[in-house]
């Protein structure tokens, strides 16, 4: 599988909100489609991450999350009608790390990744 690069994600994040949404969806689509072996290998080689370095939306809104400032300050999540992806991301993050630790399953992570991918996809305007 050809994984998105940090440079591609950074470029999409700087381009526009729609480009950032499309690349973030693509990022989660890769997680969903990857086999357990491919994903574990890519993660071991630091080609993928569940964290913000491969999230174009995070690049588009770099002030979204700052733990030192008390949490989320995301302009995308300012109301319930907007993207509001943090809850679904937390579920996927927990499933991913549980799978890596062998306390969870790849199937559970794929389900969480699909849920986030499909949620983000609702905001793509053709």
Question: From the CA atom positions of the chain, what is the Rg in Å?
Answer: 14
Q: Would you state the pLDDT for residue 46?
A: 92
Q: Is 125 inside any structural domain?
A: no
Over residues 43-83, the pLDDT tens digits come to 999 999 888 778 888 787 766 654 444 455 554 554 434 55
**DSSP label of 116:** H
* Average of per-residue pLDDT across 72-96: 67
Q: Would you state the pLDDT for residue 83?
A: 55
Q: Is 1 inside any structural domain?
A: no
SS3 84: coil
The predicted model scores a pTM of 0.83
- Name which residue leads in pLDDT, 81 or 84: 84
The domain of 21 spans 6-120
Q: Is 94 inside any structural domain?
A: yes
Q: Is 106 inside any structural domain?
A: yes
10 Å Cβ neighbour count for 107? 11
């Amino acid at each position: 599988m050809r994984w998105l690069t940090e440079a591609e994600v950074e470029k999409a994040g700087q381009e526009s909100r729609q480009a950032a949404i499309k690349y973030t969806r693509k990022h989660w689509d890769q997680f969903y489609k990857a086999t357990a072996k491919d994903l574990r290998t890519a993660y071991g080689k630091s080609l993928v991450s569940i964290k913000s370095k491969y999230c174009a939306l995070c690049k588009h809104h770099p002030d979204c999350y700052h733990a030192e400032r008390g949490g989320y300050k995301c302009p995308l999540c300012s109301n319930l009608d907007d993207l509001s992806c943090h809850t679904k991301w937390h579920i996927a993050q927990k499933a991913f790390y549980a799978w890596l630790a062998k306390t969870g399953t790849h199937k559970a992570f794929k389900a969480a990744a699909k849920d986030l991918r499909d949620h983000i996809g609702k905001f793509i305007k053709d």
